[in-house]
Amino acid sequence: MSARPPRTITVEALARVEGEGGLSVKIRKGQVTTVALNIFEPPRFFEAFLRGRAFTEAPDLTARICGICPVAYQMSSVHAMESLCGATVGGALRGLRRLLYCGEWIESHALHVALLHAPDFLGYESALHMAKDHPGVVTDALRLKKAGNALVALVGGREIHPVNVKVGGFWRLPPPEALRALVPSLEEARELAQGLLRLVATFPFPEFDRDLPLVALRHPDEYPMNEGQIVSTSGLDIPVSAYENHFFEEHVPRSNALHSTMKGQGHYLVGPLARYSLNFDRLPPPVQDAARAAGLGTTCRNPFKSIVVRAVETLYACDEALRLIARYEPPPSPSVPVAPVAGSGCAATEAPRGLLYHRYRLDGEGLIRQAKIVPPTSQNQKAIEEDLAGFAAAHLDYDTKALTLLCEQVVRNYDPCISCATHVVTVDRDDR
């Protein structure tokens, strides 16, 4: 075969992702020579300005890292503070937190599955273009998303940057009748999620299984959201407090985000594929059946099929929300008291995009002296780049336009949140 001209696949500004990033894939002499997911989202230095803030402010301040998944930041921060201060939030308050997280999973997954990711498979520039030919798909997805947002708005106060979450619980308990009033919309959402799952199961998926270790939380009896051990397909099974003994971050010059690696393993994946593959047995049988009917096995390692896994998780979150509402008994108080303690504490929860780790060190007055936040997208960044290299190398016969679109799709498979990845930076220095 004659030598092909060198070319570079470049996307200056990735569309249908949260935040600002681009990609480039250089191809020379029929070989992929370099790939990069470039993150040019400006840094916002959260971990630096959190120093000196009160421990009670962490949920409101860290929520602003991401407008798409503020609940995840609120949940990881309050659990880290409670762990540090020796407080336990259980019973109905724990259930309400899980309910709030269900709302975020529904709205975030519905947004990504139908409005950001599905247009790749159906061949449209956007969901708005797609709506002209597939109006039902888009209107159903918007109704599904709205049901998730209504849940976040009721339990959290508003959809974006909820105000009702506090260290120790909530400011106000949602009235039981208001929760029950959401049941019809959640029942409809469950139907819509089933429909969405059936639809995305029909999409064509390239064969592209990845053999990276998958990392997620695992809870003794539930599909993981707010707590559990950190487990991996490579045999890791550690408490969250041991996270930093096994995972490291490094700064690469082309990126305003930090990359993560696992000790002895290198790159790894967090997110829906990891959660599903490590926790299939924690899904209720009807959801397992729906996943099987959609063509999934008990594990899934093809990032292109993450859209199917997200649809399964959306269905699960609707089911789980209905279950939590049905058994809700208002607790005696909206929160438990939490007194600050000097020391360090951490927590990890499952954001829609994967494991979100927070660690804080407090002084005796309850002021934050050090903060470390590791979002899912910075953990997945190396895997995304490897996918780009592997997938481009396997499709060099495509013309540049087609290959560019495929490379974009490789990135969108991860639902990357570039706002999260870049706004979070490690501060290893004490200011006192």
Partner 1 sequence: MARGKAAKPKLAVWKFASCDGCQLSILDCEDELLALADAVQIANFPEASRAVAPGPYDLSLVEGSITTPHDAERIHEIRRSSKLLVTIGACATSGGLQALRNFADVETWIPAVYASPDAIQTLRTSTPIANHVRVDFELPGCPVSKEQLLGALAAILQGRRPVLPTHSVCLDCKRRGIVCVAVAAGLPCLGPVTLTGCGALCPSYGRGCFGCFGPVRSPASQALVPVLEAAGLTDPDLVRLYRTFNAAAEPFRKASEAHERPPA
Nearer to partner 1, 345 or 366 (CB): 366
Q: Compute the Cα dihedral for 110, 307, 192, 354 and give only its sign.
A: negative
CB of 110 to partner 1, least distance (A): 10
Residue 49 binds partner 1 (CB under 8 A): yes
Nearer to partner 1, 20 or 222 (CB): 20
d(CA 11, CA 410): 12
Query: Candidates 1-9, 40-48, 87-95, 351-359 — which segment interacts with partner 1 by CB under 8 A?
Result: 40-48
When binding is defined by CB under 8 A, the residue of 159, 319, 387, 415 that contacts partner 1 is 159
Nearer to partner 1, 327 or 429 (CB): 429
CB of 253 to partner 1, least distance (A): 4
Single-letter residue type at 68:
I
Question: Which residues within the stretch 67-126 sit at the binding site for partner 1 (CB under 8 A)?
Answer: 67-68, 70, 107, 111, 115-116, 119, 125-126
d(CA 360, CA 370): 6
Site string for partner 1, 315-354 (x = CB under 8 A): -------------------x--------------------
Residue 364 binds partner 1 (CB under 8 A): no
d(CA 356, CA 201): 28
Pick the closest to residue 388 from 407, 401, 409, 405 (CA basis). 407
Residue 14 binds partner 1 (CB under 8 A): yes
Structural tokens at position 142 = 């918007």
- Do residues 432 and 35 touch, judged by C-beta distance below 8 A? no
Nearer to partner 1, 365 or 397 (CB): 365
Residues forming beta bridges with residue 350, ordered by sequence position: 355
When binding is defined by CB under 8 A, the residue of 134, 161, 282, 382 that contacts partner 1 is 161
Nearer to partner 1, 43 or 184 (CB): 43
Nearer to partner 1, 100 or 273 (CB): 100
Sequence-distant (≥ 6) Cβ neighbours of residue 402 within 8 angstroms? none
When binding is defined by CB under 8 A, the residue of 74, 76, 149, 377 that contacts partner 1 is 149
When binding is defined by CB under 8 A, the residue of 6, 30, 34, 45 that contacts partner 1 is 45
Residue 138 binds partner 1 (CB under 8 A): yes
When binding is defined by CB under 8 A, the residue of 281, 397, 399, 428 that contacts partner 1 is 428
Sequence-distant (≥ 6) Cβ neighbours of residue 129 within 8 angstroms? 119
Structural tokens at position 301 = 């390692």
Residue 427 binds partner 1 (CB under 8 A): yes
- Do residues 319 and 190 touch, judged by C-beta distance below 8 A? yes
3-state secondary structure of 381: helix
Q: Where are the beta strands (DSSP E) in 141-298?
A: 165-166, 169-170, 215-218, 229-232, 237-238, 247-251, 258-262
Residue 238 binds partner 1 (CB under 8 A): no
Residue 127 binds partner 1 (CB under 8 A): yes
d(CA 167, CA 76): 11
12-43 exposure pattern, b = at least 16 Cβ within 10 A, e = fewer:
eebebbbbbbbbbbbbeeeebeebbbbbebee
Nearer to partner 1, 38 or 379 (CB): 38
Residue 145 binds partner 1 (CB under 8 A): yes
Residue 172 binds partner 1 (CB under 8 A): yes
How many CB atoms within 10 Å of residue 231?
19
Give the number of residues in contact with partner 1, rule: CB under 8 A.
73
Residue 128 binds partner 1 (CB under 8 A): yes
When binding is defined by CB under 8 A, the residue of 48, 122, 242, 389 that contacts partner 1 is 48
Residue 65 binds partner 1 (CB under 8 A): yes
Residue 393 binds partner 1 (CB under 8 A): no
The backbone torsions φ and ψ at residue 80, rounded to the nearest 5 degrees and listed phi first, read -65, -45
Nearer to partner 1, 211 or 399 (CB): 399
**Is residue 429 packed enough to be buried (19+ CB in 10 Å), middle (13-18) or exposed (0-12)?**
exposed
Query: Candidates 80-88, 156-164, 235-243, 283-291 — which segment interacts with partner 1 by CB under 8 A?
Result: 156-164
Query: Candidates 36-44, 221-229, 312-320, 347-355 — which segment interacts with partner 1 by CB under 8 A?
Result: 36-44
